[in-house]
Amino acid sequence: MKLATSEEIKLIDKLAVEKFRISESELMNRAGTGAANVILKEYPSVRQIVVISGPGKNGGDGKVVAKRLEEKGILAHLLVTTDLIPHWKSLISEAELIVDALFGVGLSRNVQGIEREIIRLINASCKKVVSLDIPSGLSADTGRVCGEAIRAELTCTIGIPKVGLFIGEGPLLSGRLVTIDLGIPEAVYHEVKISGKLLHPKDFESQLAPRGNDTHKGTYGHLLLVGGSVNRLGAPLIAARAALRSGAGLVTVGLPERCYQKIPKGLLEVMYEPLSSNKVGRLNLSALKEIQTLTKDKECIAIGPGLGVTPDIRKIVEGLIKSGKAPLLLDADALNAIGKKIEILKKGRRVIVLTPHPGEMGRLIGKPASEVQQDRLRSARELARSARVYVVLKGFRTLIVTPEGDYFVNPTGNPGMATAGMGDVLTGMIGALMSISPNSILEAILAAVYLHGLAGDRLKKRLGDRGFLASDLIEEIPLAFRELVGS
User: pLDDT tens-digit profile of 304-327?
Assistant: 999 999 999 999 999 999 998 999
d(CA 17, CA 26): 10
Q: Name 180's bridge partners.
A: 158
The answer to whether 338 and 352 have CB atoms below 8 angstroms apart is: no
The answer to whether 327 and 301 have CB atoms below 8 angstroms apart is: yes
Helix 470-486 / helix 422-436 crossing angle, nearest 10 deg: 40
pTM: 0.96
With a cut of 50, list the residues of the chain below it in pLDDT. Answer: none
DSSP 231: T
- Residue 95 neighbours by CB under 8 Å, 6+ apart: 48, 49, 50, 77, 127
d(CA 475, CA 85): 61
Write down the pLDDT at residue 223: 99
Count of residues making up the chain: 487
Half-sphere exposure of 293 (CA within 13 A, CB side): 9
- Residue 7 neighbours by CB under 8 Å, 6+ apart: none
Q: State the amino acid at position 24 in one-letter form.
A: E
Q: Name 76's bridge partners.
A: 49
Write down the pLDDT at residue 326: 96
Write down the pLDDT at residue 267: 85
Half-sphere exposure of 70 (CA within 13 A, CB side): 11
d(CA 355, CA 334): 10
The answer to whether 99 and 51 have CB atoms below 8 angstroms apart is: yes
Beta-sheet strands, E only, within 85-166: 97-101, 128-132, 154-158
Domains of the chain: 2-194 (3.40.50.10260), 201-486 (3.40.1190.20)
User: pLDDT tens-digit profile of 211-267?
Assistant: 999 999 999 999 999 999 988 999 999 999 999 999 999 999 999 999 888 888 778
Write down the pLDDT at residue 123: 98
d(CA 34, CA 363): 46
Distance (Å) of CA 147 to CA 57, 86, 167: 21, 25, 17
